[in-house]
Amino acid sequence: MIIGLTGGIGSGKSTVARAFETLGAAWVDADDVAREIVQPGEPTLFAIQKRFGDQVINVDGTLNRAALRDIVFKNPEQRRWLESVTHPKIRERLLQHLERLTAQGAPYVLLVSPLLFESGQHALVSRSLVVDVPQALQLSRTQQRDGVSESQVHAILAAQLPREQRLAKADDVIDNGGDQTSMMQQVIRLDEQYRRLLNG
């Protein structure tokens, strides 16, 4: 069984995934895969460099994420082009990781993806789990973690599904606006539910 785990930026998706991992679940992060497909030597990086030039490439040949983010969040057409190139590659690589993890015998696998619904990756999962926090908390956490401006966080939020729509699409929800203990209790309850579904 594959569970799609999603949530807005700064909602704590990775923290929740690691909590499930302590209970025996395996997980793959679409953000990690998105970084994988733009490593030096990957065809996707070559396509991005061809489109945007050397301004999006660091001295060491890696992708300059900040420069690329700056371009695509100011220009919706450029963002659509980037997504048309990266999303199919991410999906292909995700499927490889999910197959590998399933073969290793985990009871269920989490597909952690900020754009689970937007990218069509929800078609790969049996259930969807949304990690939810108030928007004010998303803003403060993201600014603290990534050192980005408030306007950049708002631009990222605008590119993601509105909170109400994401919650409406969820099979399950974890409220991650509280403390670690509260989050862990919710994870334990869902882990039991997923195992019952598997055995049922």
User: Which residues are annotated binding-site positions for ATP?
Assistant: 10-15
Contact between 151 and 106 (Cβ < 8 Å): no
For 119-179, where are the alpha helices, taking DSSP H only? Answer: 135-146, 150-159, 163-169
User: Which residues are annotated binding-site positions?
Assistant: 10-15
Give the helix, strand, coil percentages of the chain, each rounded to 5.
60, 10, 30
Helix (H) or strand (E) holding 139: helix 135-146
Q: In whole angstroms, give the CA distance from residue 92 to residue 111.
A: 13
Q: Provide the 8-state DSSP code for 63.
A: B
Q: In whole angstroms, give the CA distance from residue 171 to residue 126.
A: 10
Q: Which of 161, 76, 87, 74 is nearest to 124 (CA)?
A: 87
